[in-house]
Structure 1
Amino acid sequence: MATRRKFLRNSVAAAAAISTASAFAPVKGLATTIKDFNINHDNMQPEDTIIGHGGFRYKVDKGWAKLSVTSNPLLNCHEMVQDRKGRLIMLGDCTRNNILIFDKSGKLLDFWGSAFPGGHGLSISHEGEEDFLYITDCGYFQDRTGNWNSQAGQVVKMTTDGRLVFAIGHPKTIGVYKDTEPFRPTETAVAPNGDIYVADGYGSDYIIHYDRNGKYIRHFGGRNNANKEHNLVNAHGVAVDTRDASNPTVICTSREENCFKVYTPDGKFIKRMDMPGMYVCRPVVDGKNLYAGVCWSKDAAGNKQSDTGFVTILDENNKVVSCPGGNEPIYKNNVLQPVMQSASRVFHHGHDVCVDDEKNVYVCQWNANYTPPVKLTRV
């Protein structure tokens, strides 16, 4: 194990993209000092706490993950996926163990990774009999003393046991970006044909489209379109939506606008999906539904509130049907009204969700006192 981890650390560091100065400012709500690595379950809910609405209601389990705070510490849990073996694979930004692999009971099965201090995005692709991980390091991180640091943002493809397949470098190395355009990638999505979409959510807000081998095809989104509706503002997440198999689309987060924006696979704008009051993270497609973590919500006056968040769930028609941890979604004249965090405050900054094969939901939280993912068991 130690040899493999040493190889991983060295090979990924060698593949890192060219370092550039960051234009991404610290996000409101992040602790100014990281005092220690201990897991803190300060906001434990009663064992019988049920949240959610309609047919999407869940029992809250904040003690699901079995972790040692000394052997496997956490900073921020950013994203999680499930592989075909049923294992739950989580990416965090603690370089003691960037990747943690659990079974559904919360038992830790494996861990690896020390090269992603800005570990942020995690996607999975199924190729033949093998699963592969796409890990996104946004290149922006906070050390234990509370100081902000930056290095090159990067996207790497890896096996689920930590072997590097390839890395996607800074887009300016192939003439796609100007020297003045920062690259701070936050997420990837993989299409059924293997094409890769990279969301530059903390950099220049483009979605960059590559083929299955990492060869550049095009980019779209960004901030400077003639039609401002086509712009993205904090393009935090991206997903390939194949719920309509004959008309696949690419769903992109425009988090500061509290919405998703939908494009064709070749980058043509289709529509906007407003999520009022919700600073949504990456869209997660499962079956006929769309899920997302909400990293902040607004108050009744429309002001962004720190230390808030929940989960939102949309049906096959992209209507919000449940907001676990938030208020019940209400439509008036077919328009969704603003949704806020519920008074019970179950979550701190819902950064991502993973839906397992039994339709349970695991919520990764950012800036949540070093806590592991929260399990929501479907009831």
Structure 2
Amino acid sequence: MNNNRRNFLKNTGLITAVGALGGLNYETMSNTNPQELIIGHNDFKYKVDKGWAKLTVNRTPLFNCHEMVQDQKGRLIMVGDHVANNILIFDKSGKLLDNWTLSFPGAHGLSLSKEGSEDFLIITDCGWYQDRSGQSKSQAGQVIKTDTNGRVMFTIGHPRTIGIYKDDEPFMPTETAVAPNGDIYVADGYGSDYIIQYDSKGKYIRHFGGKHNANPDHNLSNAHGVSVDLRDPKNPKLICTSRNESCFKFFTLDGKFLYKVELPGMYPCRAVFHNDNLYAGVCWSNDKEGKINWGDSGFVTILDKNNKVISNPGGNTPNYQNGKLQPTLAVSNPIFNHGHDVCVDEDDSIYVCQWNANHTAPIKLTRTV
């Protein structure tokens, strides 16, 4: 949404605050359903639309909605782990345009590779899934490059086959990122916590991270996400999620550790960039006693260009004391089950994919301020 429209909403008084609870602003929109909520903080507030996706679950069954990207045609492409519908493609109104599957019960990560005017998908099968009885199962993971119609270009398998993993090191990748030169970074977030770098054809270059470095800052713990940060074009960086440590760790593109950004109380997924800001789904948070709240405790967090948290839609107000972020919790009566990923479009709307959310479709957040 552009600034003119946001200013119009403010100046015409269409947004009326009616109360707050735990840092979450409960607001209604004039002449609309009074149950609609405005969430977020500072200049990043959003109207919640839980009915955005126009789906019939009998025709298009869902399990977990893991990640979403927007292609060059403006379509919103989502990966999920229902074997009948690994890929769902929407327009911005929520209409389903297409769907297809690779029959992966562990489909988890989705990245976009823009190659000229053509788009390709890098799909991550983590190998972990639940069967129909709810029992957890696991197998070796894989990474697959396809076109947007599902035609497979190549597959990256277990790193043991090229001699860079020991026999007892599991490979259960969760995410990929694509660099401007086409290099593919694979985050082994449910396996051995390495970041593995391949070239655009899937040829191994190097790996780093893992759990056994002398400097603990170089280690990763649940390396759930990986992203390329181009906000400073002269100094591109790789951002790796170390979810069990509640932080993002920044590396050079050749794997040298730079620094970390701590997000106390949050268990974030991958970093997503829009303009100068960093957005991330928070899968769950701690409770007031500092223990992990495994329940419906997810939200979205937004950081500015200096990596300072400026809004937590669905979470408590960002609170810095002496320059240090204080623990952030989900609000009571949470909007989200588990915020697994976000996609941000050209209007600044956010689409939130949820994990373990009773088979619900993504939620749209329309920016109002």
TM-score (norm 1): 0.87
Deviation (angstroms), 1:47 = 4.3
1:343 equivalent among 332, 343, 354:
332
Offset at 1:162? 0.7
Equivalent positions of 1:166-205 (< 5 A) are 166-205=154-193
Shift of 1:286: 1.4
Match of 2:121 in 1: 133
> Does 1:323 pair with 2:312?
yes
Separation of aligned partners in 1, 2:263 and 2:358: 27
* Correspondence for 1:298: 286
Query: Contact conserved, 2:102 with 2:150, CA < 8 A, in 1?
Result: no
Q: Secondary structure at the match of 1:346?
A: coil
Partner secondary structure for residue 346 of structure 2: coil
User: 1:35 maps to which residue?
Assistant: none
State the match for 1:74 in structure 2: 62
**Letter of the structure 2 residue corresponding to residue 368 of structure 1:** A
Structure-2 residue corresponding to 1:248:
236
Residue correspondence of structure 1 range 158-173 to structure 2 within 5 A: 158-173=146-161
Does structure 1 residue 150 correspond to structure 2 residue 138? yes
**Whole-angstrom distance in 2 between the partners of 1:108 and 1:323:** 29
How far the C-alpha of 1:46 sits from its partner, in A, is 5.6
SS at match of 2:244: helix
Larger deviation, residues 342-351 vs 59-68? 342-351
Kindly, what percent of the aligned residue pairs are identical?
67
Letter in 2 for 1:323: N
State yes or no: 1:367 paired with 2:356: yes
Of residues 300, 304, 307, the one that matches 1:311 is: 300
Residue of structure 2 in register with 1:275 after alignment: 263
Does residue 87 of structure 1 match 2:75? yes
More displaced 10-residue stretch of structure 1: 151-160 or 233-242: 151-160
1:48 equivalenced with 2:36 (yes/no): yes
Query: Secondary structure, in 3 states, of the residue corresponding to 1:98?
Result: strand
For 1:89 and 1:77, the matched residues in 2 are separated by 11
What is the SS of the residue equivalent to 2:200? coil
Tell me, in whole angstroms, the C-alpha distance in 2 between the residues paired with 1:185 and 1:113: 19
| Number of residue pairs aligned between Structure 1 and Structure 2 | 335
Whose strand fraction is larger, Structure 1's or Structure 2's?
Answer: 2
Residue 356 of structure 2 aligns to which amino acid in structure 1? N
Match of residue 346 from structure 2: 357
Query: Which residue identity does 1:180 align to in structure 2?
Result: D
- CA distance in structure 2 between the partners assigned to 1:296 and 1:92 by the alignment: 19
Q: Distance in 1 between matches of 2:167 and 2:333?
A: 47
Structure 1: distance between partners of 2:183 and 2:227: 12
Deviations 1:111-170 (A, max 9, x none): 000421101000001101100100000001001111222222000000011110111111
Indicate whether 1:216 and 2:204 are aligned: yes
Q: Find the counterpart in structure 2 of residue 265 from structure 1.
A: 253
Q: Is the 8 A contact 1:292 1:313 kept in 2?
A: yes
Cα deviations across residues 219-251 of structure 1 (Å, max 9, x unaligned)? 000000011111000000000001000000000
**Is the CA contact (8 Å cut-off) linking 1:47 and 1:60 kept in structure 2?**
no
1:191 Cα offset (Å):
0.4
- Aligned equivalents of 2:52, 2:314: Cα separation in 1: 17
CA deviation profile, 1:285-340 (whole Å, cap 9, x unmatched)? 11101010000111111110022110000000000000000000011111001100
CA contact (8 A) 1:100 1:110 kept: yes
Work out whether 1:377 is the aligned partner of 2:359: no
Structure 1's consecutive aligned runs of 4 or more residues displaced over 6 angstroms after TM superposition are: none
TM-score by length of 2: 0.90
| Cα contact 2:84–2:103 (8 A) shared by 1 | no
The answer to whether the 8 A contact 1:325-1:344 is kept is no
Q: Which runs of 5+ in 1 are unaligned?
A: 1-44
Match of 2:15 in 1: none
Equivalent position amino acid for 1:289 in 2: N
Q: Which residue of 2 aligns with 1:64?
A: 52
Specify the alignment match of 2:29 in structure 1: none
